[in-house]
Amino acid sequence: MTAYPVHYSVERPPQFTRFQLVVRILAFMLLGIFGLSLGTAFFAAYLALPVLAAVRLSRGRDPAAYLAEDGPRVLRALRWFAAVFAWFGLVADSLPDREPDETVHVDIEPSGHPAPAAALWRVLLGLPSAFVLSLLGMIGGLVWLWAAVTVLRHERMGEGAFAYLAGLQRWTIRLLAYQASMVAAYPPFSFEEPPPPLPAARTAR
């Protein structure tokens, strides 16, 4: 698999505390009281990012200027989104104190020539990826419950469960970066983060 221009990496914590697990459950209950969920937040971002990109591009701005000027703002928003979702999703054991990079690492290599109409079209173009992600998220709910039981008993999480939950987060961030018109390539249907390419071997003179 070739490298995708949106990179998401997170280290598996050596320990997941029961206290943080209880706080997560209480946070889920609080969101439920107001009729909110992580899925609601995702689809709000899924719809809002193309609209915001179209609005910004409709002012006659050069595509390169949009990527250069709005890119850092989008990246910072996605980093915080990733950090919060990583905590809820049992990928990070705590919320960051000051910067999202304390728990997860997200980077974007901007590309393409975004235009207002093309940005809005991504609401439809992104649906196949969002649909598959939703199905995988349902399975992820069961994985989350299994991981939560493991954390409750041993304050540990299996490598397979962690890889699945982190993969869901990676897919989500890639799709949202695409929705924001930060990258031209369609996000891959994959959980994996390809390793960086090996440096080219030097030819003998």
69 part of a folded domain: yes
Range 79-89 average pLDDT: 96
pTM over 0.85: yes
pLDDT exceeding 90 applies to what percent of the chain? 84
At residue 114, does pLDDT exceed 80? yes
130 part of a folded domain: yes
19 part of a folded domain: no
- The answer to whether the CB of 168 falls within 8 A of the CB of 114 is no
172 part of a folded domain: yes
C-alpha 155/C-alpha 9 separation (Å) is 22
186 part of a folded domain: no
- pLDDT class of 62 with cuts at 50, 70, 90: confident
Query: Rounded to the nearest 5 degrees, what angle is found at the Cα of 177, between the Cα atoms of 180 and 71?
Result: 65
Q: Which residue range is the domain that position 102 belongs to?
A: 38-179
2 part of a folded domain: no
Q: How many domains is the chain built from?
A: 1
Per-residue model confidence as pLDDT tens digits over 148-191? 999 999 999 999 999 999 999 999 999 999 999 999 999 999 99
